[in-house]
Amino acid sequence: MDNNLKQISLYGAPLFTWYELQAPINQRLVLPSESCFAYILDGEEQDLTKTGFLAKKGTVILSLCGKTVSRTLSKMDTGYLNAIVVHFNRNILKKIFDNEKPKFWKELEHPLKKDTFQEAASVLVQSYFLSISTFFNHKNALNEDILSIKLKEIILLLLQTEESSNLNTIIRSLFSEKTFSFKEVIEANLYEPLDLHRLAAMTNNSLASFKRKFNNIYNNSPARYIRHKKLDRAKNILASSQNSISEICYECGFSTPSSFSRIFKAEYNMSPSAYRLSFNAQ
């Protein structure tokens, strides 16, 4: 099957893109670097980001960085993906909302803990993307007013999700004027899966600048410091709870129980289970 990319633009920038991809892609996909919201029409549940975001039919993926999504899609080894993407260009959002905050918006109180999130699409979101799919067959009837209304619609729809939800907080961040310090962002994300590219982007640094700044502040490399904090938290939970090893693994931000056990044993010369037994025997 040939790869098929169709696009609709607003004010000279991509607004909607429809991707039908059969891996291996054999080309570099280019998504705008700004945030994007993807609805998976069909897929074979392959890992799109190497961190557990799957090409699962009927789900949505919201990401603050389209460049990250395009890089991982370009590396997709196998399988079929059919998805419609809405691109959230901040300058265009300001324009269509007349530099005002949209209804239902509230300022962030804390730094984001997740900049990419996946969940099952609600009935309203499914209906929204169904309406967008018809646009691609009627491009001549579209104008800036219609497209602006459709962009407003999905923003307001997502802002009406539960305030504490990841979808809500990520959308709120697009309109945020609050600046969090480097340390605030790091401390908020200590127990999330480690992704230095993501942390660098969230602190508005290149990867090289991020590593230098981190070392200057913490007198340690990001990987070593964050690993130590995660392991320290894991030790405390092992000593004070009966949570399973898997539960502790994910609570402390490790990617898999096997990698957690391997890292823990390399640091303390015993497995998490053995550490719990030795602590309880004291």
What integer pLDDT is reported at residue 186 of this predicted model? 92
Whether 223 and 197 have beta carbons less than 8 Å apart is answered as: no
pTM, two decimal places = 0.76
- State the pLDDT confidence band at 81, using cuts at 50, 70 and 90: confident
Whether 151 and 91 have beta carbons less than 8 Å apart is answered as: no
Whether 67 and 92 have beta carbons less than 8 Å apart is answered as: no
Q: Where are the chain's structural domains?
A: 4-173, 180-282
Q: In this model, does residue 85 exceed pLDDT 70?
A: yes
Q: In this model, does residue 1 exceed pLDDT 50?
A: no
Provide φ and ψ at 202, rounded to 5°. -70, -20
pLDDT tens-digit profile of 110-140? 888 777 888 999 999 999 999 999 999 999 9
Distance CA 15, CA 117 (A): 20
pLDDT tens-digit profile of 226-273? 999 999 999 999 988 889 999 999 899 888 889 999 999 999 999 999
How confident is the prediction for the chain on average, in pLDDT? 87
Distance CA 29, CA 260 (A): 33
Distance CA 261, CA 282 (A): 22
- Cβ count within 10 A of residue 267: 14
Q: In this model, does residue 28 exceed pLDDT 70?
A: no
8-state DSSP, 100 = S
Percent of the chain residues past pLDDT 70, beyond the cut = 88
What integer pLDDT is reported at residue 158 of this predicted model? 94
180-282 topology per CATH: Arc Repressor Mutant, subunit A (1.10.10)
Nearest to 173 by CA among 10, 64, 44, 17: 64
4-173 topology per CATH: Jelly Rolls (2.60.120)
Distance CA 37, CA 93 (A): 14
Highest mean pLDDT out of 35-44, 148-157, 252-261 = 148-157
Rg of the chain in Å (alpha carbons): 21
Provide φ and ψ at 84, rounded to 5°. -110, 135
What integer pLDDT is reported at residue 50 of this predicted model? 60
